[in-house]
Amino acid sequence: MRYGWLLAAALAVSSCGDEPGALPTTRPDWTGAAIGGIAPLMSPREVAVALQRRGYRQVPCAPTERLMVDPLNRGGGMPCYESPATAMRISLYFLELHEGRRLAVANFRHRGNMSDPAARSVANRFYAQRLRRRFGPPAHVTKNPSFSIVYWYRPGGQPSLPDVISTTIDAYSEPNVSLTSMWAYAQVRGR
């Protein structure tokens, strides 16, 4: 998925102090936005319960899932999960925040292997429509000749860099959605 620029922007913003006159930052609201019972800012225990309820088990990550992953339990466990009850694989990324260890990013990707680019593109558009029905009109859409990224912002957080739900629509990847807390990057312990 094409979210590397989002991470770079989050890290740049989180490294800056609040400027005078900046709008107040509040903890983002992920209520009602969980996918598979999982949403950013959940504790590792809450995530583990959600994974267990849906029958997820740890699995090795694919090379494309290794960019932003961190095991649920620090002991070197695999940070990717799948369940026979759903077609979505999950990769997780946790951060050590002032309030404790919290989920910062959850990436969901259809684990099917569609070889036809046209079929992938249709499946991605269908999945984006499902997200639109659930979350309403998108806040922003980035369009390029070969892909589009659709964004829904969550209330609260840093107004200039909100927490986001996003999906990439292209002919190269399977249906996907990322839940990203930009607010979490500014709350990293030790800052």
Residue 55 scores a pLDDT above 70: yes
Q: What is the mean pLDDT of residues 74-91?
A: 78
Which amino acid is present at 188? V
| 107 bridge partner residues | 91, 178
pTM of the full structure: 0.82
Q: What is the model's pLDDT at position 148?
A: 95
Residue 191: the pLDDT is: 60
The mean pLDDT value of the chain amounts to: 82
pLDDT at residue 14, as a whole number: 43
Lay out the sheet containing 164-170: strands in order across.
57-59, 80-82, 88-97, 100-110, 176-180, 164-170, 147-153, 140-143
State residue 70's pLDDT score: 56
Regarding predicted confidence, which is higher, 8 or 83? 83
Residue 49 burial (10 A CB sphere; 0-12, 13-18, 19+): middle
pLDDT at 175: 93
Cα distances (angstroms) measured from residue 154 to each of 20, 58, 86, 93: 24, 28, 25, 18
User: pLDDT of 152-168, one tens digit each?
Assistant: 999 999 888 899 999 99
Q: Would you state the pLDDT for residue 13? A: 43
Q: What is the per-residue pLDDT for 115?
A: 80
